[in-house]
Structure 1
Amino acid sequence: MTQPPLAPGCAATATCSPNAPTSDGCRTLRLAGKPPKYIGIDVDNTFHTYDAAAMAKNRRAFRKLVESGYRPVLVTGRMLKASLGVLDDLYTDGVYRGYPGVYQNGATVYNELGELIVTVSFSKSFIRDVCDILEEHRLGAHVLFQAPNEYYALAHDKDLTELLARNLNLPSPVIESTADEICGAEITHILCYRFDKVQLYMDAKPEVDYVAREGAMEITCINPPRVNKLEGLRALLGHENAESGDFAFIGDGSNDVEALQASQWSFAVGNASDSVKASAKNVLEETNDQAAFAKMAQLLYGINVE
């Protein structure tokens, strides 16, 4: 049964607490007026979980949000086709096919027809410098280069790069490539294992020439400068003629911080780090394995899938 969303300032359950508690210490859900139409959803360690029951619950909440006229969209570091597996029946039933959505941390953005409306790629000189470092110092196995729909790796150490790809659950085979071939592709995102080893040899400056955010399993996601999930989401909202700040957001990682800070309806899941929780307006006690996304849908939109 669908329940009405909580009004601003009303008490929530103890499963959600604001980042800055009120003076009397009570736990309240911090809302900023009417819940927004758009909901940006991080995938890994937020919407996605290996707990089958929790994953099914999250999908039911997503479905009910769509049926209620809201617009939940994936906003993730994954590429589009690496994200489709988490949708399952949402995809097969045509409820949501991954678009509109924001992918590769904002480097690629798709409209409601599945067309790319934003593609931000690295300069050829940056990719050439990275390839030279990898070849000179025999670090090729540490890096996967991504175009909007393909993965590339330097030709040596193929077995190790394939192992890295499998550990990341990447859906498509890695294309074994020369440095010239990689430089000729439109590289929008880089996955690097033990980035500290590569960074030692780089002249490029972080936050100036590239953006790097560390994720799980010692994997660092690297994007072109000024690329992040917030800017990708703003581009999507602008394309749909929606207000740039009119969105909710839920996430867990360092690549979610800008969006969590900007949204007036932001939620960090319970398994997020303390620094990420500090950037959100609300913090859920539920983790991704406890269907934190479904809890957010209940608290903010009155969507109940119990």
Structure 2
Amino acid sequence: MIKLFATDLDGTLLKHSNVIKQEDIDAIHRLKEHGIDFAVATGRMERDIVKICTEIKHDAHRISQNGAFVDTKDNQKILAKTFDVATSSALHHAVSAFPNPFCITTADESYISFKTPEIKAMEDILYFPLVEGVDFANDYNEAFLPSKYMLLGEEKDIVGFQKKIDEAFHEVSETYLSDPHCVDIVPKGVSKALGLTALAAHLDIKPEEIAVIGDSYNDIPMFEMSANSFAMNTAPEAVKQKATHVVNDVFEAIEHIQGIVSTS
């Protein structure tokens, strides 16, 4: 029996320009009727999830920054994982060699190396503005640590640099192509599956009682932990192959799992 439904945001629940289909919102609200809890699992920050929950008028457990942070819908923080001071400084210096813009994210803020006209235009659809300037490579301390570095650019450029990061930092970091124009660098072991596992333990539910949906490579760990997995039809083929089902919209996945619940 499904007890928790977890959705990715960008490209899944969030369409172009941060639009959320009314059919998806209605389906999320119907989850409660079937005794199914709701979670968001995203590469975005926790504050973005809170903003979206306000917009759709529905609370959610929050797995943010690819699983680095997990907060329950009643605001209990059950997981927080960041890089240590030495690794933060070393990674900062390494990504500073990347010629395109890169972001550094902490639990509370998102910084960008420099804003191009394209990024300034992109900010129009962000829920919170980016802070320009990353001149703090040697200022990290226990109260100020990053949870994610993000490389932005064309796929061929970011994937090439991703390989260099993997070679140099594979013992302390994981990297994900979270979007055709974005590579995420997170602490070793961090994934949406890790966040979901922590949440499941807190809620006392089993992996087979979780249904998940997403559209990117960083969603694959979720697909691998649950047989109740859905990939968006717009996902890369390699991502779709890892999911049990392929759908066009979030509400289709919810209708499918509600059918399972109704007949179980």
Normalising by structure 2, what TM-score? 0.83
Structure 2 counterparts to residues 25-174 of structure 1, below 5 A:
34=1, 36-50=2-16, 55-91=21-57, 95-96=58-59, 99-135=60-96, 137=97, 139=99, 142-154=101-113, 157=114, 163=120, 166=123, 169-174=126-131
What 5-or-longer segments of structure 2 have no aligned partner? none
User: Which whole-Å CA distance do the structure 2 matches of 1:246 and 1:119 have between them?
Assistant: 24
Alignment RMSD: 2.9
User: Which whole-Å CA distance do the structure 1 matches of 2:235 and 2:87 have between them?
Assistant: 32
**Contact in 1 for aligned 2:45/2:64 (Cα 8 Å):** yes
User: Which whole-Å CA distance do the structure 2 matches of 1:298 and 1:200 have between them?
Assistant: 40
State the shift of 1:198 in Å.
4.6
Which position in structure 2 is the counterpart of 1:275? 238
Asked which structure has the greater RCO (Cα within 8 Å, sep 6+), the reply is 1
**Contact in 2 for aligned 1:142/1:161 (Cα 8 Å):** no
Which residue among 246, 257, 265 is the counterpart of 2:228?
265
User: Which whole-Å CA distance do the structure 2 matches of 1:205 and 1:164 have between them?
Assistant: 32
Which residue identity lines up with residue 228 of structure 1 in the other structure? S
Question: Structure 1, residues 138-195: CA drift from partner, whole Å, max 9, x if none?
Answer: 74x62111111211345xx356796387277251441634324652322111211143
Which position in structure 2 is the counterpart of 1:176? 133
Percent of aligned pairs with the same amino acid:
20
**Contact in 1 for aligned 2:68/2:82 (Cα 8 Å):** yes
Which residue identity lines up with residue 278 of structure 1 in the other structure? Q
What 5-or-longer segments of structure 1 have no aligned partner? 1-33, 287-291
**Contact in 1 for aligned 2:215/2:232 (Cα 8 Å):** yes
The question of 1:190 aligning with 2:153 is answered no
State the shift of 1:44 in Å.
1.0
User: Which whole-Å CA distance do the structure 2 matches of 1:124 and 1:165 have between them?
Assistant: 31
Normalising by structure 1, what TM-score? 0.73
Structure that is richer in helix per residue:
2
| Moved >6 Å (runs of 4+) | 51-54
User: Which whole-Å CA distance do the structure 2 matches of 1:182 and 1:167 have between them?
Assistant: 30
**Contact in 2 for aligned 1:143/1:191 (Cα 8 Å):** yes
Larger Rg computed on CA atoms? 1
User: Which whole-Å CA distance do the structure 1 matches of 2:104 and 2:17 have between them?
Assistant: 30
| Worse-matched range after superposition: 71-80 or 188-197 | 188-197
Q: Secondary structure at the match of 1:112?
A: coil
Which residue identity lines up with residue 119 of structure 1 in the other structure? A
Structure 2 counterparts to residues 8-23 of structure 1, below 5 A:
none
Which residue identity lines up with residue 209 of structure 2 in the other structure? D
User: Which whole-Å CA distance do the structure 1 matches of 2:44 and 2:52 have between them?
Assistant: 11
Q: Secondary structure at the match of 1:152?
A: strand
**Contact in 1 for aligned 2:107/2:146 (Cα 8 Å):** yes
Question: Structure 1, residues 214-239: CA drift from partner, whole Å, max 9, x if none?
Answer: 13351111111111111110101111
The question of 1:205 aligning with 2:188 is answered no
